[in-house]
């Protein structure tokens, strides 16, 4: 059997393949484990949940590439600007939480023990999740079975994070939404717009939709629908409501961050597998964690 490459060697191969778009930021990098550890297999997942880590152990993968951090916070300097397109805020900081609070919890200790006892190496690639070929967007489109007619860079300063523009035969909003929901096997979807509105031109934005991104996406001429994972209900969600009510668009569909990010992870894993020849690579999914509670007759 050939020698197993170290974690550092695997990351250098990915960095070289992504050049010149690869970004090294303080909140990314090795979250747990060692850069000198030999890599038996690689798992790609948007969030290193305990269930995902158990899957990785069962499948023999000891290097996990993730978009989100291990322990539910980002150990970084909070933003000084309210413009989320140009600065970042540590997860949980808005609620007064911090690393010092999290590490005192029993759950932190249990998860840390599981990671260490199974010799897992977790490397965060949040700034490189989209890659120079926008593989996260490709994963989302592949799950939908759609092809992009064009794309835009809606998130400055990240030109590699693409929002795909898709044109389909016109169909009612509710019917299209039900079809998209079924393709992701998500348990619930959230929809704005008249159910019978005819939809043809769609913007597909992977993961989380910020207010900065939706203001760019909404500039696309004759756009009918924006499809995404999730949006903050007092930012991009309200912007979408006003965009529809002003007669500029017809619909806004949120399929859920988890299932759309799983699809994105599949796209990232395909790129990683192509880059890391000779090393087993798999995509691990979080799945839809929510149980829907329906109200009324309209069920998307």
Q: What's the number of CA atoms in the CB half-sphere (13 Å) around residue 189?
A: 29
Q: What are phi and psi of 200, to 5 degrees?
A: -130, -45
Place of tokens 């890391």: 276
Residue 80 burial (CB count, 10 A) = 8
Q: pLDDT 10s digit of each residue in the chain, 300 long?
A: 468 999 999 999 999 988 877 888 878 899 999 999 999 999 999 999 999 999 999 999 999 999 998 888 766 444 343 333 344 444 334 444 567 788 888 999 999 999 999 999 999 998 888 766 667 778 888 889 999 888 777 665 556 678 899 999 999 999 999 999 999 888 888 999 999 999 999 999 988 888 988 999 999 999 999 999 999 889 999 999 999 999 999 999 999 989 888 888 888 898 899 999 889 999 999 888 887 776 665 555
Domains of the chain, residue spans: 7-128, 135-259
Place of tokens 């932190």: 108
CATH code of the region 135-259: 3.40.1390.30
Q: What are 59's two structure tokens?
A: 């499948």
Considering all CA atoms of the chain, what is the largest pairwise distance in Å, rounded to the nearest integer?
64
Q: Please say whether the structural domain 7-128 has been given the CATH code 3.40.1390.30.
A: yes
Cα dihedral 218, 219, 224, 229, rounded to 10, equals: -30
Q: What's the number of CA atoms in the CB half-sphere (13 Å) around residue 237?
A: 12
Q: Which of 74, 61, 168, 203 is nearest to 118 (CA)?
A: 61
Cα–Cα dist 224/60, whole Å: 45
What is the pTM for the complete model shown? 0.82
Cα dihedral 123, 264, 156, 240, rounded to 10, equals: -130
């Amino acid at each position: 059997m050939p020698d197993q490459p170290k974690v550092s060697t695997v990351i250098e191969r990915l960095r070289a393949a992504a050049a010149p778009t690869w970004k090294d930021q303080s909140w990314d990098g090795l979250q747990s484990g060692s850069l000198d550890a030999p890599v038996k297999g690689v798992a790609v997942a948007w969030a290193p949940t305990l269930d995902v880590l158990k899957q990785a152990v069962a499948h023999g993968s000891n290097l996990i590439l993730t978009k989100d951090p291990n322990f539910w916070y980002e150990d970084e300097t909070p933003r000084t600007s309210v413009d989320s397109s140009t600065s970042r805020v540590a997860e949980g900081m808005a609620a007064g939480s911090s690393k010092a609070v999290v590490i005192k919890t029993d759950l932190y200790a249990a998860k840390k023990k599981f990671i260490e006892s199974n010799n897992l190496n977790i490397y965060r690639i949040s700034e490189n999740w989209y890659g120079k070929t926008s593989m996260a967007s490709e994963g989302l489109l592949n799950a939908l079975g759609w092809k992009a007619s064009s794309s835009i860079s809606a998130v400055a300063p990240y030109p590699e994070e693409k929002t795909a523009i898709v044109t389909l035969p016109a169909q009612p909003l509710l019917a299209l939404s039900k079809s998209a929901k079924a393709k992701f096997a998500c348990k619930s979807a959230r929809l704005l717009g008249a159910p019978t509105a005819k939809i043809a031109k769609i913007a597909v934005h992977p993961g989380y939709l910020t207010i900065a991104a939706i203001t760019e996406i909404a500039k696309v001429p004759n756009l009918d629908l924006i499809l995404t994972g999730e949006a903050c209900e007092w930012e991009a969600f309200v912007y979408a409501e006003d965009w529809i009510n002003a007669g500029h668009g017809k619909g806004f569909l949120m399929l859920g961050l988890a299932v759309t990010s799983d699809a994105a992870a599949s796209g990232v894993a395909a790129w990683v597998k192509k880059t890391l020849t000779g090393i087993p690579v798999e995509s691990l999914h979080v799945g839809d964690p929510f149980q829907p509670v329906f109200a009324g007759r309209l069920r998307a």
